[in-house]
Amino acid sequence: MAGEQRHLHAVGGEDPFRRLWSELPEPWTRVVIGDDVEDWDRITENGDRRIDLRGLPDPLRSELAWMSHWQAMDGTRSAVLGTNQFANILRRAIRDDRPFPTSIRTMDWETAGALQRWFYATRWGRLPPHGSIARLRVIFRFSRLALLARCSDGPWWSLDEWHPRCDPRIPLAEHEPQAHYGCSPSKITHPWLREAVKWWLGTQLEAGILRWSTVSQERIRCLVRFDRWLETFTDPLDVLGDPAHAVQVAAAFRRWDADPANRLLRQNEQRFAHKPVHPRQINDDLRAIAELFAFVAANPAEARQVLGVRPWTRVTDAHAAGWIRQVSRIPHQRDLNDEHYVDDHALAQIPAALPLLGLGRSEQMAVTCGDGQQVTARGVDDPQAMRMIPIPHAPPSLRNDHLVSLSDRNAA
């Protein structure tokens, strides 16, 4: 029945999901969701269709209900078709005794995708179409991350996927209240490195030393490249070996990092495969690695507690110093050169043509080009843009107070 409810039973302690379930509005706790949900048509993407979770075991059923509610509260629309499709897959798996994880929290996208392929192969003898894959993928993106974040017993940075949209515990600076982008420490494949990176960046972010935009857009990328370079080692832990050889190890990374092909992290970056790498980019990677080493070496007691005894107890300040020594000095270039210099003649042409911004599109004005030739140009009809450009040394006829009256006259 639509009003039937099932209860979660914690095994070996309190399930953190019980609190989330207890806070869920009653209409969302039903096995068929949609009836009595306020503004259902507005918060779903599939009109009057209902979410049907009948026949699913807990906590899977309850987790899917909570995730659907989170999607609605997040401002996106509840993925009714995707949720129902996944429920059908799970019901068939139960019928055919195909094993699957008993919780969304322990079921990653690869496992769900394999279930979907099995479902299509056994029912229709083909692979799932792109649209069906995309619908299921939605469930295993933001809403699952939000579920994992709220059921996590550890600090936010202990998770392998970070997204402020899904985890309100991630600190944001005042100018980053709408940070709708995340990052994936999971892309770091070596577990010992990944755990150290998460601890270091999470601590730096909480202390206000780094900002979310820096962590998510720069530092993670630097350390992912470092992780990829470690695959060239027979034993990646050699990078934490004799500190006397840290300079040579860092120099080898610098040479590898200077190859544009080695820096590509996504398939759509292939267009940069032959673009020269700026020394500043290589320096950023070297500094990120050196700062990680320095942080671990400066906090040995905490490192043993968070990361364990091996392998990070081998890291010393000498490792960090060896890497920082490979940061190259980039000669300072004067900003004022032939490319950036604007001569008096060109500077005079700017205020002379400024009224063109305020003229209506049906009006015309004579403008002198750089070669001295005069042409007639139509107005842009943007008096606000004209008023935004200050001309402190312009003659009275071109000062902004005159331009304001000109724009007002044009508007009239």
Residues 179-215: b if buried by 16+ CB within 10 A, e if exposed: beebbebebbebebbbbbbbbbbbbbbeeeebbbeeb
With residue 378 as reference, give the H or E element that holds it: strand 374-378
User: Using a CB cutoff of 8 Å and minimum separation of 24, what contacts does 252-259 make?
Assistant: 253/226, 253/229, 253/285, 253/286, 253/289, 253/326, 254/282, 254/286, 254/326, 256/229, 256/232, 257/225, 257/229, 257/282, 257/285, 257/286, 258/282
DSSP tag of 160: S
Residue 367 is predicted with a pLDDT of: 79
Residue 181 is predicted with a pLDDT of: 86
Sequence spans of domains, the chain: 17-153, 185-324, 345-411
How far apart CA 82 and CA 223 sit, in angstroms, is 35
Q: Which residues contact 313 (CB under 8 A, 6 or more apart)?
A: 300, 303, 304
Sign of CA dihedral 92, 97, 101, 107: negative
How far apart CA 91 and CA 89 sit, in angstroms, is 6
Phi and psi at residue 33, to the nearest 5°: -105, 135
The number of angstroms, rounded, from the C-alpha of 161 to the middle of its chain's C-alpha atoms is 9
Q: Is 95 exposed, middle or buried (0-12, 13-18, 19+ CB in 10 A)?
A: exposed
Note down pLDDT in tens along the chain; length 412 residues: 333 334 444 444 578 899 999 999 999 999 999 988 888 888 887 777 899 999 999 999 999 999 999 999 988 788 899 999 999 999 999 999 999 999 999 999 999 999 999 999 999 999 999 999 999 999 898 999 999 999 998 999 999 999 999 999 999 988 776 677 899 999 999 999 999 999 999 999 999 999 999 999 899 999 999 999 999 999 999 999 999 999 999 999 999 999 988 887 665 555 555 678 899 999 999 999 999 999 999 999 999 999 998 899 999 999 999 999 999 988 766 655 666 666 676 677 777 777 877 788 788 888 777 677 788 888 877 777 777 666 555 444 444 444 443 344 444 4
* Beta bridge partners of residue 274, listed in sequence order: none
Type of residue numbered 257: D
pTM of the model: 0.74
Three-state SS at 144: helix
Q: How many CA atoms lie within 13 A of 290 on its CB side?
A: 22
* Beta bridge partners of residue 34, listed in sequence order: 36
Q: Which two tokens stand for residue 86?
A: 């996944």
How far apart CA 250 and CA 257 sit, in angstroms, is 10
Residue 9 is predicted with a pLDDT of: 42
Residue 317 is predicted with a pLDDT of: 95
Residue of 83, 81, 3 lying closest to 47 (CA atoms): 81
Cis-peptide into 59, omega within 30 deg = yes
Q: Which two tokens stand for residue 302?
A: 């905490």
